[in-house]
């Protein structure tokens, strides 16, 4: 199984400041034949299902604010929130869909400082 490891487990950021979450996979999720990274980012607020933010590592889902961006390739990925808003308080998960079983990172909790 591909193990996904996120860091940090939690972070507190002042409103308007940036936040960076890292995700590392135990093997590459870059598929050579199409040069796509099979990596998604989700946001989950309490009592709600996860919401897709980013897919193919860097493509923003329709309707997601442009303060959210994804980067990285191979085994190392980053989710960046450029200017934290109050509504961004949530747990964020990375997920690989390169192979089954689909696997998720343990989650990163983002709070307001």
Partner 1 sequence: QLQLVQSGAEVKKPGASVRVSCKTSGYTFTGHYIHWVRQAPGQGLEWMGGINPNSGDTKYAQKFQGRVTMTRDTIISTAYMDLSRLRSDDAAVYYCARDSTNTWYGGVDYWGQGTLVTVSS
Check residue 106 for interaction with partner 1 (CB under 8 A): yes
**Exposed/middle/buried for residue 39 (C-beta within 10 Å: 0-12, 13-18, 19+):** buried
Select from 15-23, 43-51, 66-74, 77-85 the region that touches partner 1 (CB under 8 A). Answer: 43-51
Phi, psi angle pair for 24, to nearest 5° = -125, 135
CB of 54 to partner 1, least distance (A): 10
CB of 103 to partner 1, least distance (A): 7
Check residue 43 for interaction with partner 1 (CB under 8 A): no
Which one of residues 20, 24, 52, 73 is an interface residue with partner 1 (CB under 8 A)? 52
What is the C-alpha to C-alpha distance for residues 94 and 106, in angstroms, rounded to an integer? 8
Which one of residues 40, 81, 84, 110 is an interface residue with partner 1 (CB under 8 A)? 40
Touching partner 1, residues 65-104 (CB under 8 A) = 93, 95, 97-104
- What are the C-alpha distances in Å from 54 to residues 49, 57, 106, 112, 113? 16, 6, 17, 22, 25
């Amino acid at each position: 199984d591909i193990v996904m490891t996120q860091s940090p487990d939690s972070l507190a950021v002042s409103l308007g400041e940036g936040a960076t979450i890292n995700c590392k996979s135990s093997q590459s999720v870059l598929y050579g034949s199409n040069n796509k990274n099979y990596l998604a980012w989700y946001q989950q607020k309490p009592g709600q299902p996860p919401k897709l933010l980013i897919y193919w590592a860097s493509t923003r889902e329709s309707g997601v604010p442009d303060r959210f961006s994804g980067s990285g390739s191979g085994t190392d990925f980053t989710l960046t929130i450029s200017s934290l808003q109050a509504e961004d308080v949530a747990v964020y998960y990375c997920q690989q869909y390169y192979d089954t079983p689909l696997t998720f990172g343990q989650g990163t909790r983002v709070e307001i400082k």
